[in-house]
Structure formats: structure tokens, C-alpha cells
Chains A and B, each alone.
Chain A
């Protein structure tokens, strides 16, 4: 497939960009932060997303969704990255919708997907237990009890975990931490007895929570996919999340970069625009190259998820690793080239640095994905 957006994808991008610039510019994030908004996102804005069909972007048309692909989801993520807009798009429309659509029974799909499409259900994936992403080291247990299971353990940095009504929880039904076998996914009601969630205040003012599970009942019907064999489903969903977050970083870093290039043309020192200094020109040109190279990898990763979902692991790792590194370079250079004003809270550029730091950690940082690629290539 050609590594360019087709006409429909380009139109989606233009519409998303126009809509977000008008309705959710960076001032929107600042207002949520400064008012200490209890939800941390705007339900009115999420309703708009729902009306545009974004909540069901990955949901098959049979369940009322748009039935589009990962490239389209990535297009929206990239635009959300440009405006740093907090929303349940990643947790609900990307992670949860894709997990249920891929692995759910007909009944589970019928129960949840139309609600996601209608904006009636915020759902998320609860996977990480430690400060660094190590999905195979999941220790949370699901022990058999009658016809069902009892879940015990703790999850950290669950995206939108403070507002989600449905949690897709990965727990161990057999084996030990470190084994990829023995993991099972459960669909858990966030209001079930024994579930406790504590909102995490994060550097980027986006949304996450720590959630503890204390002997939480999960029925046999709540198993998503197969018992003990959840790893493949999990890997697939994580790959979708990784590629989506990489796309978000492409948006955030390109916006930070274009603001920086504009500043290089405006800001005068020593009687000329600082963009005339070759010391800055070469760094800006190098950064441009890094961002272009990342963009190709991220688009390829999204296309591969659409074409050959089960073989996307390597290219997704390439995309996530590259996006993490080039976005980190972009935001660091952005603050440095803006100088003193770049350090002020009043100026927006620092907000990009904060969000990129979070995206770098989500679902594995660049080191995690370099290691994963090396393993896949057997060295």
C-alpha cells in the first residue's frame, strides 16, 4: 500500500484538524487544568466526538460504528496530539473498542460496542502493574471460584481509569510473573464491589488512575477471549495502542516543531532573526529529517495493523521507538530554541514536552521497543 493518506483519510484529517483547532485548542487543556476539572476532560466535547462517529471509529458497522481502520484512528490521534486534547478516545475508542471487537463473543460485542459508539460507555484497558511497561510480568491473580473467578491485585496508570465504567483487566489464571502463558482478560464493571480507583495527577494533565482489586467477582461470561491464552489478544491490543500513541506523538512533535520554526523566524537577537544562525538551522534541519523518518514508520505500522494485524509487532515497535525518540528530541529542542520564554508556564511549548514524556512511557518506551525488536530478530 502506498505510504500516503488516501483522499478519504486526508479529508478526515482536515476535518479533525479544523474541528479541534476551533473547539479544543490548547486553551481547552489549560481550562481543564486550571479549574481542576473533576473528570479531566470535557463531556460536551466527547459528545461532539461521538456525533462525528469517532467513538466508533474502529467498531464494525454491524454494531453501529464507522468500521474504519487503524490508519483512520491514527489520523485522529495525530490531530489530538497537535492540540494536546484530553479525551477518552485512546482508552475507549481505540483500546477497549478494538479489544472487544477483536476478541469478544457476539454477546459481549452486542452488550458493549453499541454503547461505546453512542458515547454511553467509557471503557479502558488495565494492564500495567509496575512503573515500567512489562506486560508479561503481570502478577495480578484471577482464581477460580465457583463458575467464575476472583480478581486480586493492583493496576497502575490505567488511562481514564477514574471515569471508566468498564475495565478490561489482564490477570493471571495460571503460570508465574514472566510467563506469557496463563494470562486472561476480563471485562469488569468498575462499580463492582472490591474495585477501588484513585485518580493519578499527572504531569501532562491528562487522565489516569491506580486501581486496586480486592477479591472482585468476575463471572465466566466476563472472560474476553480464551482462559490462559490472553497473551495474543493482549499483544494485539497493545500494538494498536502503541501505534496510536506513536501517531499522537507525531502530531505533538510536529506541532511543537512548526511553532519552533516560526519562532526562529520571528525572534531577533544580535540584530537578526535567530533562524539565520547556522547553529540553529542545522539542528532544525536535522530534527525535520528525524520527524519525517518517524512519520513514514508510524504510517507503515498503522497500515500493517490494517493489512496483517498478526504480523505488525516488529513495525509497531519500530514506530513506537522512533516516535518516542524523535518526539523527545523535538520537544527538547523546542524549549531550548524558545529560550527563557519556553520555560514559562504561560507559554504553550512546555505543555508539549509534558505530554510527550507521558506518551514515551505508555505501552513501552523506546528502550522497551528496541529490546523487543532485537528479540524478534533473535539477537
Chain B
């Protein structure tokens, strides 16, 4: 415990000395997020410095082993680092699908060469990754995917199309589920491939969402050649990695329900509906906000408890479905309340007053939370089958 307290002190001192003041202001828009990659243009010197300093310490990926560019921190130390960064309002130095998704998969399933090749570049923000999972014909039924990778000696020949590939137009590499055995049952003919988005035959087309932005793309593969060394895990065993990664993705999306805004819903609503004797004048809205806050706080505790249970060896593998389902439904509820509390102010779509329609766009974007990474209905199926053991689920 004493060591942890020392670590807390040292971490705080280091962050105070090394985090540039610009990086200690709340981010104003999505553009403030640093994604890294070959073509990344830093928003400021401060953003570059912050990434370089954190990467040098291994703290862009604090829990990864040091030999792969990580910080080698224990779970407790990493928690302290996150807490301290929150307390000092330090921005994340680097966000990426490499950190959240591919990294954990490579650490578990990759060979030594793949780990040494890819993990340090993720940690330093040099290569930006995207995820090739869903296809136009394969949404909830992901395992029905049709993108083919044919064996051509020491290479695979990849043909097909992926959809909802977030930031595919900005990514350098893709991790991709491909069918390597079309005759096997659907879960048993899938492999996990890595390839460069600059390979001949790769093209992308952005998809504009109802929120008006387009982080997503459709991605096309037309006779793309991929070296066989880029196969992760065993041939036709990619579904295991896919499932493992989906768990990570669910945890990530589920956690979005708890992003802390500076102002509480109660405060936002007080501005528009007014207060009477210290209570919101709109009593029905007040009740809804209180009910939401009760569930949101209890959900944060549920996430803590899931972590604590994992630590003592009682984790249930399907618990990520619970967190994903509950967290995303909660976030949607929150955004409905933000819109309700904001009234007509929240309906503005452009202009500085509404920060380019921030509320309305976030509200619309939240609707995807319960679709992406496995719909709410798919999560309920998983809970019914794997936790409750209901028949035929």
C-alpha cells in the first residue's frame, strides 16, 4: 500500500511537470482527440509533446509490457494513473483502436514477431488501425461474413467488402476477419488478418450518419495480396479472436454511459426550466433526471464490482454483455434527457452558440451505441444463453 501511495505522489508530480497546460483543458470537440498515425497532423505543439512524453514513459498503454512499448504497470498502478489524470484534467495523449482492440488481441494471440512489429508502433501512435468486422450482409449475424481470403502460396488474395469501418479513410492498417474456408461451418472457416491500407486494391468510401458526421466507411478489397506472416493465430480459428475482441469493444462502448460531463443534468435543466425553492420547476423532468442519476451511479458501481470480481477470480465471461447492454441503454437515456432539458436550444445544428449542434449531434450519435459492437438484442441473447442457461437461446 505504501508503494502505491508513493506511486501516486510520483505520478502526480510527473504529470504536473510534463502535461502541457493546453492538454489540461477539457477537449472542446472531437478534433482535440489525438489518434496518431502516418498522416496525423498534430493540432498543436502541446499535443505532440504530450504524446511523445507519455509514449516515452509507456503510459499511452500503461498496462502493456515494457518490451512492447508499454508502461509495465500493475492494474492498481494503472488505476492510480487514470485517477490522477482525471483529477488533473489531463487529456488522453492518444486514443486508438490499436490500443483498445488490436493490442489486447495481439498480446493474447499474436506471435512474438507480430508483437514486436506492431505493438510499439501502436504505443507511440505511429500506426493508426481500423477494424474490418461487419459486412453489408453481416451485421448481428457477424459469423456469416463473406470477405474471402484465398490461399495463393505465401500470400492470401483478399476480395470483399467491410462496412462500419470506423475511420478507415484515415487508418494505416486494418485488422480484418476473412473467410478462409468457405466449406466449413460458419464459425470455423474464419481467420484474423492484418494488412496495410495502402496495399493495392483497397479503397474506402465514407458513410454520413444521422448526426451529420462520418467516422464510418465502407471499405472495398479488390484482389488485395496479403503476406501469410500477417495471419494472427491459427488458420480458421479467427472467430476465437473475434469474440475476445468483441468483449473488449463491448466494455469500451458500455463505459461510454459513464463519461463524466462537467455539468450535471440537474444544472443543465435548471438553466432552461428554472428552479422553485431550490428544486427544478419541471417536476416531471426532475423525477426523470433523479431516476437516471440513480441508475447511472449504480451502473458505475456495477462496473467497479465486475472489475473487483475479476480480480478475485469470479468473473463471468458474459458480464461484458451486461455492461454493454446496460451502459449503452443508459447513455441513450442520458442523451434523451439532455435534449429534454435543453429544449429548443438543444435543437440548433450549426453555429457557435450550440457549439455546432453538439447536443443534437451527440444525441443522434448515441442511438448507434446499442447497435454497434453487437445490438442490445444480441447482448440479451447472450445473457439468456450463457448466464441464465435458457434453452434454445
Binding site for B on A (CB under 8 A): 2-4, 261, 264-265, 272-273, 275-276, 278, 280-282, 284-286, 288-289, 292-297, 299-300, 315, 317-319, 321-322, 367, 369-371, 373-375, 377-379
Contacts and interface: CB of A to CB of B under 8 A. Distances in A.
Contacts of A278: 381, 393
Residues of B contacting A: mostly: helix
A296 B295 contact: no
B264 interface: yes
Interface string B305-332: 1001101101000000010011000000
Interface string B245-271: 000000000000000000010110110
B295 A322 contact: yes
Given A2-B312, A276-B390, A379 B279 contact: yes
B207 interface: no
A219 to B, nearest CB: 40
Given A318-B294, A318-B297, A371-B290, A4 B390 contact: no
Contact of B305 (A3, A322, A379): A3
A285 B298 contact: no
A378 B278 contact: yes
Given A281-B384, A315-B297, 7 more contacts: A3-B304, A4-B312, A275-B391, A285-B388, A286-B380, A297-B301, A374-B286
A276 B295 contact: no
A374 B278 CA distance: 10
A264 B388 CA distance: 10
B280 interface: yes
B389 A281 contact: no
Nearest to A372: B290
A276 B294 contact: no
A276 B393 contact: yes
B17 interface: no
Given A4-B309, A288-B322, A374-B290, A300 B301 contact: yes
A116 to B, nearest CB: 32
Contacts of B264: 377, 379
Contact of B299 (A286, A293, A315, A375): A293
B185 interface: no
Contacts of B379: 285
B302 interface: yes
A288 B387 CA distance: 9
Interface of B: 264, 266-267, 269-270, 275, 278-280, 286-287, 289-291, 293-295, 297-299, 301-302, 304-305, 308-309, 311-312, 314, 322, 325-326, 377, 379-381, 383-384, 387-393
A370 B295 CA distance: 10
Residues of A contacting B: mostly: helix
Nearest to B383: A285
B391 A265 contact: yes
A379 B266 CA distance: 5
Contacts of A265: 389-391
A33 B382 CA distance: 42
B304 A296 contact: yes
B295 A293 contact: yes
A3 B301 contact: yes
Contacts of A264: 390
A-B residue pairs, 7 tightest by C-beta: A379-B266, A3-B305, A297-B298, A281-B384, A276-B392, A285-B383, A370-B290
A367 B290 CA distance: 9
Name which of A285, A295, A299, A375 has the most chain B CB atoms within 10 A of its CB.
A285
Nearest to B377: A282
Contacts of A288: 322, 383, 387-388
Contacts of B326: 289, 293
B258 to A, nearest CB: 12
Contacts of A317: 294
B66 to A, nearest CB: 27
A275 B279 contact: no
A280 B387 CA distance: 15
Contacts of B391: 265, 272-273, 275-276
A374 B387 CA distance: 35
B281 to A, nearest CB: 10
Given A297-B301, A318-B298, A373 B293 contact: yes
Given A3-B308, A275-B390, A294-B298, A379 B270 contact: yes
Nearest to B301: A296
B308 A373 contact: no
A4 B305 contact: yes
9 contacts: A3-B308, A273-B391, A275-B391, A281-B381, A281-B384, A294-B298, A318-B294, A378-B278, A379-B269
